[in-house]
Structure 1
Amino acid sequence: MDPVERLYLDALMEDPAVPAGSLRPQLLAGARARRRPAAPTAEWARPYAGRVAALDALLASAVDDDWSRVIVEGWTLQELVAHLAAKDGLLAASVGAPVLGPPMAARDAAGRTADVQAYERARSPEQTRRDWRAQADALCRHLDGLDPATPATVDGMESVVRDHILARCLETWVHTGDAARVAEIRLPDPVPEHIRPTADLCARLLPWTMLFSGLDGSGRTLRLTLTGAGGGEWLLPLGVADTGPGTPDAHVTADVVAFCFLLGGRGEPDGFPAELSGDLALARDVLTSAPALSGP
C-alpha cells in the first residue's frame, strides 16, 4: 500500500468486541466518508501531518456523548482537542506561522491551554474540531519550505523545529490513542516511515529524561534496539554533554510503538516489557526516567 495513502488513515479498525446491533460501524463508515487528507507540508513534517489526519478521521466519528466524555487529565474530548490546538499554536508562534484562536496572552503550555479551552467551551464541538484542524494545517503549510534546522522555542524548550514537530507528532499520536481507547476503537499504527523519525526523537531524548529525573548518565552508553516496523538500533551516550557514544554499558530491547508511548507518558516503566542486559540498574534507570518530559 502506498504510504501516503496509508497515512490518511484508510480505516478506523473496529474492535471485534463491539456488540451486535451497535451503531458504531455505521458511524465509522460516515467518518471514513468525511475524512480529510493530511495537509501538504515538508517531508520532515509529514509524520505530524499524518497524525493530524488520523485524529481528524477519529473525531469525524464522534457523536454528542463522545465529546463530553472525560478522556485524560480530567479533560473532555473537546477540551483535549483544544489543548492540542493550544500546543500547536505555541509552535506556530515560535516559527512565525499563523496563530489561530484567542489572542496569545500566555506563552506557556498550561496558560495557553487554559485560554484556548475557555475559548472553545463557548463553541460547538464541531467548531473546536475545525479550529484545531485549521491551526494544524496552517502550521503544516508554513513548514513547507522551512529549513528543518530553524531554531524554535516552545514552553521554554529550545531546539530545531524538526524536533519540535516530531514532539507534536508524538503528542497527537498519544492523545489519539487516548480518545480511541475511550471510544473502544482500534486504530492502525502510523506507517513505518513516520514511526522511525518519531522513535529517533524519543531515543535522543533519553539523556534529557535522565537529567530531568536527577540521574547523571555522563560517560555511560546505551544500546537501544526497537523492534517492529519503523524500529532500529541506536548507540546512545547518556550524558547530555557527552560528545559521542562509548562501549555500551547496557542494552535495552523493546517494541518501537510501546517505547514511543512510554516516552509519551503511557505505560508503567516498572512493568514495561523489555529485554535488559549489561548494567541492569542503568537499564532500569533509563526506562524509569523515560516519561519524565511527558506532560498533559
Structure 2
Amino acid sequence: MKAYDEDDGNDEHDTKGADGDADSGTGSGTGTGARIPLPRASVEDGGRALPEPAPVALEHQVLTSLLGAWALAACSAQEAAAVEEHLGECDACAEEALRLREAVTLLQRPESLDLDPALRTRVLDGCLERRPPRIPVPEWAAPYDAETARLDALLQDFGDAEWHAPVRLRWYEDDGAASRRTTVAGVIAHLLTVDGTVAAALGLDDPLGDIAAPGQAPAARTEAYWRASHCPPTRAERASWRRQTHDIVRTVAFTGDAGGMPVPYGGLELPLRDAMLDRAFECWVHAEDIAEAVDYPYNPPSARHLNGMIDLAARMLPGVLATRRRAGLAAPGDRPHLVAAGEPGRSLRLEIEGSGGGEWLIPLDSPGAVGSSDHEVAHVALDGVEFCRLAAGHVPPAEAAAGQVGDRDAIRDVLFAAAALSRM
C-alpha cells in the first residue's frame, strides 16, 4: 500500500511537470499549441498591377551624365525613369540622347565576329616582309627562304586528317594535262626529294640516300622515294623537309657568290641562283595545292619575288620553244631560219600585268637570239599570277586569259611552251 501511495504521488508530480512544460512552451496560459505564420500576401495574388518605379529626384548635371548609360540600357529602373522624364522637358538633353542612341546602333556589327580565315596569312606575310633575316641570305635565295617559311607556317597546325587529305598534283605534258594523286604528306615528300638536288649540289645529304632514281629527274626522284617508303608518307616528312630547307638556306648564305654553281635536273642544268628560284616557285605552287585540299586561303608571293619567278620562266621560254619545235610541237614560222647567237630575231612581247609585272621580249627563232622590238611579231598580255599558274600547268594554254595581238601561231607556241615548263 505504501508503495502504491508513492506511485500516486509520483504520477501527480509528473502531471504537473507536464503541464508546466506545456505552459512554458506556448508562452501563454491558454495551453494551445504553436502556430506557423502564413506567407505574406503579394500584389500579384490580388491581381493588381505592380507599381511603377517612382522617378528619383536628380540634378540636371547628374541626369546629363546618365545619358550615355541610358543609351546603352545600363541604367536602373529608377534612373531610366528619371532620365526619360527629364528628356521630355530638356531639348538639349533630348538631342544628345538621340545622338547617343544612334551611336550605339553603330556599335552593333551585323556581320559575324569570327576571325577572318585569311588573317593569319596576312599577318604572316607582313612578318615575313618586315623581319630582319637571321643570316645574310643572298637576294637570289630570299624567295626560297620566304616560300618555305610560309609553307611551314601553313603546316604547323595540321592534324592527322589534314596530313592525309588527298591532293592532286597537276602539270602539262605532251600538250596534254597530266596529274598524280597523293596526300599532303606526299607533297612534302615530293618537295623534300626535289629540293634534294640543290642540297646534293651544295654538298649536303641527299634525302634519297642509296635509292636509285633513273636520270635523277625530279619526277623520277619522287617516284623512287615513294616506292622505297615502307608506308605512305606521314606528318614525319615535315621534320625532314624543314631541316633540309634550313640547311640549304644556311649553306647558300655562307657560300659567298656561288649563284653560278650548276645544279642538275636530269636532262636540264640550272645555275644555283635559278635553281633556288625554281624551288621557290614550286614550293608556292604546291603550297597552294595543299591549301586548296584543306580549304585554307593562301596568297601569292610578294611582288618582288613573283617578278623573279616570272623572269626565270621568260628566260627559259626560248629553250623550251626550240625543244618543242624539234619535236614537231611548235610551228616553224613563215620563213624558218636560225638566228645566230646574240643577233636579233622574231620576237614576242610578253606583258605581265599586276603584281610582279613587267615586259619581256621572247626570241622565237633560236634560244641564243636576242629579243628585239624591231622584230616584234606578236604581243601577249597576262596577269602575273595567271602566267605563273600557266607555267605550273594549272591553267590550260587554250584557256589562259590573255590579251593577244599579232602572229597567232607565235602566240600559241609561247603559251604552250609556258605550260611545258611545268612538271610534277
TM-score range, shorter chain: 0.7 to 0.9
Shift of residue 192 of structure 1? Answer: 1.1
TM-score under structure 1 length normalisation: 0.82
Measured after TM superposition, the shift of residue 205 of structure 1 is 1.6
Instruction: Report how many residues are paired.
Output: 274
Residue 276 in 1 paired to residue 404 in 2?
yes
2:165 to 65, 69, 72: 69
**Equivalent position of 1:204 in the other structure:** 315
How many angstroms does 1:96 deviate by? 2.1
> Could you say which residue in structure 2 is the equivalent of 1:43?
139
Matches within 5 A, 1:90-239: 90-100=197-207, 102-103=209-210, 105-106=212-213, 107-118=216-227, 122=231, 125-144=234-253, 145-214=256-325, 215=330, 216=332, 219-239=345-365
Equivalents in 1 of 2:210, 2:134: separation in Å? 24
CA distance in 2 between partners of 1:182 and 1:124 (Å): 16
Task: Name the SS of the counterpart of 1:248 in structure 2.
Answer: strand
| TM-fit CA distance, 1:122 | 4.5
Instruction: Give, in angstroms, the shift of residue 273 of structure 1.
Output: 0.2
Alpha-carbon shift at residue 21 of structure 1 (Å): 12
Q: How far did 1:274 drift?
A: 0.7
Q: Which runs of 5+ in 2 are unaligned?
A: 1-111, 169-179, 339-344
2:22 is matched with none
- Give 3-state SS (helix, strand or coil) of 2:351's partner: strand
Corresponding residue for residue 388 of structure 2: 260
Superposed displacement of residue 119, structure 1: 5.7
Alignment correspondent of 2:193: 86
Q: Give the secondary-structure state (helix, strand or coil) at the position aligned to 1:251.
A: strand
In 2: Cα distance, 1:228 partner to 1:102 partner? 42
For residues 399 and 139 of structure 2, the distance between their equivalents in structure 1, rounded to whole angstroms, comes to 36
Larger Rg: 2
Contact 2:320–2:421 (8 Å) recurs in 1: yes
Q: State the distance in 1 between where 2:295 and 2:244 align.
A: 27
Opposite residue 259 of structure 1, the aligned amino acid is: F
Once the two structures are superposed, residues 203-224 of structure 1 have per-residue CA deviations (whole angstroms, 9 ceiling, x without a partner) of: 1121123233332575420111
Q: CA–CA distance in 1 between the matches of 2:113 and 2:354?
A: 35
Are 1:82 and 1:120, in contact at CA under 8 Å, matched by a contact in 2? no
The more displaced of 140-149 and 221-230 is 140-149
Indicate the SS of the match to 2:376: coil
| TM-score where L is the length of structure 2 | 0.58
Structure 2 counterpart SS, 1:185: coil
Q: Give the deviation of 1:168 after TM superposition.
A: 0.8
Kept in 2, the 8 Å contact 1:236–1:245? The answer is yes
Instruction: Report the CA distance shift for 1:158/1:182 in structure 2 as closer, same or farther (over 3 A).
Output: same
Measure the CA separation in 1 of the matches of 2:317 and 2:189: 29
The Cα offsets for residues 245-283 of structure 1, whole Å up to 9 and x where unpaired, read as: 232111110001110121111111101001011112211
- 1:286 and 2:400 correspond: no
Secondary structure of 2:346 counterpart: strand
SS at structure 1 position matched to 2:239:
helix
Q: 1:120 to 1:24 in 2, by over 3 A?
A: farther
1:53 — aligned with what?
A: 149
What is the CA distance between 1:198 and its match in structure 2?
Answer: 0.6
Residues 124, 220 of structure 1: alpha-carbon distance in 2 compared, 3 angstrom cutoff: closer
Q: Distance in 2 between matches of 1:266 and 1:42?
A: 30
**Cα 1:268–1:21 shift into 2, 3 Å:** farther
Letter in 1 for 2:298: L
1:238–1:122: structure 2 CA closer, same or farther, 3 Å change rule?
same
| Letter of the structure 2 residue corresponding to residue 225 of structure 1 | E
Alpha-carbon distance in structure 2 between the residues aligned to 1:274 and 1:100: 40
Q: Could you tell me whether the CA contact under 8 Å between 2:217 and 2:266 is conserved in 1?
A: yes
Q: CA RMSD in A?
A: 3.1
- Displacement, 1:229? 1.9
Moved more, 118-127 or 285-294: 118-127
For 1:46, give the aligned amino acid. Answer: A
Which one has more relative contact order, counting CA pairs under 8 Å at least 6 apart? Answer: 1
**Alignment equivalent of 1:249, drawn from 377, 382, 385:** 377
